[in-house]
Amino acid sequence: MTPFHGIKKIDRIRAIGMRSDMSLWDVDTAFTRLYERAMEGRLMFRQPALGVRHGELGIPDAFRSEYHVLFPLNQDPEREVPGTEILDLPETDVASFVHRGPYEWIQCTYELVLDWLRDNGYEVAGETREVFFVAPEPHSGGSQDDMLTEIQVPIRFAA
């Protein structure tokens, strides 16, 4: 079964972020650090959080990836927040895919994403975004099986 959800246009997003070379297991820690810095800077941001996976689209390396963790902003910061940067993600058309379950299994979903793009005549037209819709709630008994991540691949028809 394919995780394909649909093709849609994503609006421009202004976000605060931190970029680092990290493993899949470092993503939660990176979001915690970004949250702490955003709170110190008294920034207003909205959910869901997202990530941008840099480099050529492929099956993510569990142990190393150049990755941006981001919170979409409600408004521009009044001052610089040390250790962060403000990014403008452009409006783009994406193929949307749904990954349900632990983030460590996202590599399996990326295999299906790559197959779908090839089988349907698309090529990648930008850096892949991951939108984190549902994360486990440790105090409510949630588990990683409840996690829901949308993979957004900027696309164009292959020449």
Please report which residue ranges of 101-159 form alpha helices under DSSP H.
106-119
Average pLDDT for 15-30: 91
Please report which residue ranges of 17-156 form alpha helices under DSSP H.
27-40, 106-119
C-alpha 55/C-alpha 128 separation (Å) is 9
Q: Quick check: pTM over 0.95?
A: no
**pLDDT by residue (tens digit) across 29-65?**
899 999 999 998 888 888 899 999 998 888 788 778 8
Least confident of 10-24, 38-52, 88-102: 38-52
Nearest to 86 by CA among 15, 37, 33, 31: 15
| Max Cα distance, the chain (Å) | 50
* Predicted local distance difference test score (pLDDT) of residue 139: 45
| Backbone φ, ψ for residue 109 (5° rounding) | -65, -40
| Other C-beta atoms lying within 10 Å of the C-beta of residue 108 | 13
Q: How is residue 73 annotated by DSSP?
A: B
